[in-house]
A and B are shown apart, each in its own frame.
Chain A
Amino acid sequence: MTVHKTKLVKFVSTCALAGLLIGCSEADTGAEPEAAMAQEMPAEAAAPDMKYGFGTSVGADIIAQYDGDIHIDGTGLPSGSGNVALGREIYEIQCAICHGENLEGVREMGAQTMHEGRRDIKKLPYAESLFDFVRRSMPLTDPGTLSNDETYGLVAFLLVETGVMEDPELTLDADSLKAINMPNRDKFIIDPASGFTAEELEGK
């Protein structure tokens, strides 16, 4: 990593300033030497509100190149749609090798059943999260290659196969996916140590 010489000089003077500020604050408060043992963050002591000016401001176009997540209120859901038939077709080609013909999971491939237990589709809190994960991370050996239509179709297929949705010809798009209330949503306990209550985290 190379640092341009003039940049380095500027950096050194920033450090010197920070050092000066730390020195002052210690003199003023009579801080105990034990503070150093407690792994205090010197940056905070130096200048809690300091702006350094490093990094490059970016607009919506650059952000769009990086950002592809779906929020639980549906923000980020793309245009397009897919039905159960499309989902089943994609599943058989792309997914069944690990997840099994009937979502039962292929142990040797490391996939568990999606009908019960920890990978039970019915137990997921939000359909948005399912869409996000499938599009983001699957298939394992070629993630990020499913189209939006294929992802909508796969989510429709998975929700029908596991009995969350009844219509065998279900078609999903942004609006219809957003309208789904997952049946296990109120079975989630929020660990109080997280600093949040279940009410605070209610998404819809």
Chain B
Amino acid sequence: MADKTSLKPTRRRFIQAGVASSAALLSSTTMAQETTLIPGRGPGRRVIDTGYYGVPSEFAKTQRMKGNRGPGLVGGSLTPLHELEGMVTPAGLHFEVHHSGVPDIDPAEHKLLVHGLVDDAKIFTMEDLMRFPKVSRFHFLECAGNGMGEWMSPRGQTAQQTHGLTSCSQWTGVPLKVILNELGLRGDAKWLLAEGDDGARMTRSIPLWKAMDDAILAYKQNGEWLRAEQGFPLRLLVPGFEGNMNVKWLRRLEVGDKPWWTHHENTEYADPRPDDMIRAFSFYMECRSVITSPSGGMTLDGPGYYEISGLAWSGTGTITKVEVSTDNGGSWQEAQLEAPVLPRCHTRFRMPWTWDGKETIIMSRSTDDTGAVQPTYEEMYKIQGPIGMMHNTAIQNWKIAQTGEITNDRS
């Protein structure tokens, strides 16, 4: 046993500690305490055991914001976009919304039934599904209600609060069309019903053309198993479509000839319009962007150089251009898009900027390869009417005061 009072290890003690730690990996965790004999560099610096699954340093406080309604079964969390970089969201910070709690499912017990207008109805275990050809693709996922609180007036203080219901991951699974081909589709097949295994058995109707295009039955996220709140062990991924359609804890797919008009498509995620009209089947999350740095809640440290950076995404295609205005929309400059720039995926943009110390408003405007341009609030009201709630894609203003303080302000 090494001398615990000595801060300066000898070569011999290092070897002893090394042996102890190797042994600890192989046998018991009690011996792992021996490794704490190796001091950090400099007086008082600790070394830590990072365990079998790495977690952020205790000094890194980046977290989701959580909210719940009622008895705690309806709720979700917002991604801290303003504290993240690049285009990928860490799985543990990916936003989530649940309507009937997050179930705890054993993948060994989980099965997927696919039936309806098919030649051969089949039930699949997870082991079955994972034997099919796989694809891994980067896609954003956004709740249709992302920014619904912002419709009438600015409310959220940070980009997390205004835009935190979008995240981006690399998803791995079997293309849905491989499974449907396996079963054989009947001629009248046009829609699918996707059903989750949460308490409410949440359902959404999915058009068959999407299922046969780029939909994935996903079981891995950023290389590892889906997180429980992302649908472990199996979720539907319909890239670019509103988050709610990407049904989690997927237990059943029924092929039909008409949509089911389920609760979540006729009420919860339908879009009220003027004159009591209701827009339904608005699948796409459209072209949108937000500056994440500098953004609401931050304070600039005096005039000088700052990098303006943010995210752009479009459910209808690939981002082709992001323009940034630093003078309240008076003039626009094209930002640099950072590779990779992928379809239906978060795209990071950057633009150098020198702040002169005067009060101003900064904003970004994205364009995708279908020609769709992100609207202003005024333009969006014209399209959707001011009573809308879902599918808020409007340009986000960040007001910078002379003090450097940044707020969410449209004036």
- A contact set with B: CB distance below 8 Å: 1, 3, 7, 11, 18, 37-39, 41-44, 46, 48-52, 54-59, 62-63, 66-73, 98, 108-111, 118-119, 123-126, 128-130, 132-133, 136-137, 140-141, 143-144, 184, 187-191, 193-196, 201, 203
Query: Which B residues are in CB contact (< 8 Å) with A141?
Result: 71, 73
| A191 with B279: CB separation less than 8 A | yes
12 A-B pairs in the complex with CB atoms less than 8 angstroms apart: A37-B340, A55-B124, A55-B182, A63-B121, A110-B69, A123-B278, A140-B74, A143-B201, A184-B276, A189-B277, A191-B281, A191-B283
| A189 with B279: CB separation less than 8 A | yes
Interface string of B259-274 (1 = CB under 8 A from A): 1111100111010110
Nearest CB in chain A to that of B283: its residue: A194
The count of A-to-B residue pairs whose CB atoms sit within 8 angstroms is 200
Q: Determine the distance from Cα of A46 to Cα of B279 in the docked complex, in whole angstroms.
A: 39
Which of the residues B73, B107, B261, B278 comes within 8 Å of A129, measured between beta carbons?
B261
Q: Determine the distance from Cα of A141 to Cα of B99 in the docked complex, in whole angstroms.
A: 11
| B272 with A118: CB separation less than 8 A | yes
| A189 with B71: CB separation less than 8 A | no
Known contacts: A38-B343, A55-B123, A55-B124. The answer to whether A136 contacts B203 by CB under 8 A is: yes
| B258 with A140: CB separation less than 8 A | no
Is B382 among interface residues, defined by CB-CB distance under 8 A? Answer: no
Interface string of B195-231 (1 = CB under 8 A from A): 1000111110001010000100000000000000000
Query: Which B residues are in CB contact (< 8 Å) with A136?
Result: 200-201, 203
Known contacts: A46-B133, A129-B266. The answer to whether A195 contacts B207 by CB under 8 A is: yes
| A72 with B276: CB separation less than 8 A | no
| B279 with A126: CB separation less than 8 A | no
Query: Which B residues are in CB contact (< 8 Å) with A73?
Result: 258
| A54 with B214: CB separation less than 8 A | no
Query: Which B residues are in CB contact (< 8 Å) with A18?
Result: 133
Query: Which A residues are in CB contact (< 8 Å) with B69?
Result: 109-110
